[in-house]
C-alpha cells in the first residue's frame, strides 16, 4: 500500500483545532479525524455506567464492553458510534469535556485508541487533531502543527460557541475549566500534550480563522512540496 499523507494538529483545548482541521481536510480531500471525540465517547460510555473517570479498576473492568465506530456523513462530519448508537451530539457538553480529559489519562484507554487512530492513518490521507498526534500516534506524520492561543482567548471563543448553540456560559467558569484541562492534559504520565521539536507552532490568539487556514496551507504546501 502506498504511504499516506498525514497532517497532525495538536494543541490545547479551544485552540480552534477542530474547526480548522475540518476545513483543511475538506479542501484537501483528506479524511478528518477528531481524536478528542473518541476520548469523549469513552468518557460518555463510562458515565452511563456510573464509572468515575478517576476509577482505574472501574475503567479497566468496563472498557471491554465498549465498541467504538467512526462514520462520516455526506458533509464529511464525523459521527461517533458507541455500541451501535450515534452519540455525536451527546459528547459535546462541558461535563464530558472534563471527564474526557480525566479518562484519557488511563493506559488501557490510550492503548485501545492508539491502534484505532493508526489504522485510520494507514488507510487514508488524514488531517488528525488531538493532543499526542505528532508525539505518539503519528510520530512520522508528514506535517506537524501545534496550534495554540492564550487561555483567555480560548475561553472567549468557547463562550461564543456555546452562545451560538443557545447555551449559557459564564466566562470565568469556562476559563477555569480550560485552565484545569490544560493542566491535566499536560501533566498526565502517558502521552501528555506537548509540542515536538519538528512541529511548527502557530499562536492563533490574534488571528481569524481565515488567517489561520491561510497560514496552515502555506506550512503544509512547503512541506508537501519539499
- The smaller minimum CB distance to ligand DC, of residues 74 and 189, is found at 189
Residue 131 as a binder of ligand DC (CB under 6 A): the answer is: yes
Considering only 20, 87, 100, 155, the residue that binds ligand DC (CB under 6 A) is: 100
> What count of residues does the chain have?
226
**What is the number of other CB atoms lying within 10 angstroms of the CB of residue 34?**
21
- The smaller minimum CB distance to ligand DC, of residues 36 and 155, is found at 36
Distance of closest approach, residue 103 Cβ to ligand DC, in angstroms: 8
Q: What's the rounded Cα separation, in Å, for the pair 70 and 86?
A: 9
- The smaller minimum CB distance to ligand DC, of residues 38 and 74, is found at 38
Pick from 174, 137, 173: nearest CA to 158: 174
Phi, psi of 175 (to 5 degrees): -60, -45
Residue 185 as a binder of ligand DC (CB under 6 A): the answer is: yes
- The smaller minimum CB distance to ligand DC, of residues 101 and 216, is found at 101
Q: What's the rounded Cα separation, in Å, for the pair 145 and 142?
A: 10
**What is the number of other CB atoms lying within 10 angstroms of the CB of residue 25?**
24
Contact 177, 98 (CB under 8 A): yes
Q: Which stretch binds ligand DC (CB under 6 A): 81-89, 131-139, 154-162, 210-218?
A: 131-139
Q: Which stretch binds ligand DC (CB under 6 A): 59-67, 75-83, 97-105, 165-173?
A: 97-105
Residue 177 as a binder of ligand DC (CB under 6 A): the answer is: no
Q: Which stretch binds ligand DC (CB under 6 A): 33-41, 58-66, 208-216, 218-226?
A: 33-41
Residue 16 as a binder of ligand DC (CB under 6 A): the answer is: no
Question: Whose grid coordinates read 455500541?
Answer: 83
Phi, psi of 208 (to 5 degrees): -85, 165
Beta bridge partners of 8: 128, 144
User: Chain-centre distance of CA 124, in angstroms?
Assistant: 18
- The smaller minimum CB distance to ligand DC, of residues 1 and 164, is found at 164
Site of interaction with ligand DC (CB under 6 A): 13, 35-36, 39-40, 97, 100-101, 104, 130-133, 181, 185
Amino acid at each position: 500500500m502506498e504511504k499516506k499523507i498525514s497532517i497532525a494538529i495538536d494543541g490545547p483545548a479551544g485552540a480552534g483545532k477542530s474547526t480548522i482541521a475540518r476545513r483543511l481536510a475538506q479542501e484537501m480531500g483528506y479524511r478528518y479525524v477528531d481524536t478528542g471525540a473518541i476520548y469523549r465517547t469513552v468518557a460518555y460510555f463510562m458515565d452511563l455506567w456510573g464509572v468515575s473517570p478517576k476509577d482505574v479498576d472501574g475503567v479497566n473492568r468496563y472498557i471491554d464492553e465498549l465498541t467504538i465506530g467512526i462514520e462520516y456523513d455526506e458533509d464529511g462530519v464525523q459521527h461517533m458510534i458507541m455500541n451501535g448508537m450515534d452519540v455525536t451530539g451527546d459528547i459535546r457538553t462541558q461535563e464530558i469535556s472534563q471527564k474526557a480529559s480525566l479518562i484519557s489519562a488511563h493506559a488501557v484507554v490510550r492503548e485501545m485508541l492508539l491502534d484505532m487512530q493508526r489504522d485510520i492513518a494507514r488507510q487514508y490521507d488524514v488531517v488528525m487533531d488531538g493532543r499526542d498526534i505528532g508525539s505518539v500516534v503519528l510520530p512520522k506524520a508528514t506535517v506537524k502543527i501545534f496550534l495554540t492561543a492564550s487561555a483567555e482567548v480560548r475561553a472567549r471563543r468557547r463562550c461564543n460557541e456555546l452562545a451560538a448553540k443557545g447555551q449559557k456560559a459564564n466566562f470565568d467558569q469556562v476559563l477555569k475549566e480550560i485552565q484545569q484541562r490544560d493542566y491535566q492534559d499536560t501533566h498526565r504520565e502517558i502521552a501528555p500534550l506537548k509540542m515536538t521539536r519538528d512541529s511548527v507552532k502557530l499562536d492563533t490568539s490574534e488571528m481569524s480563522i481565515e488567517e489561520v487556514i491561510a497560514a496552515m496551507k502555506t506550512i503544509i504546501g512547503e512541506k508537501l512540496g519539499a
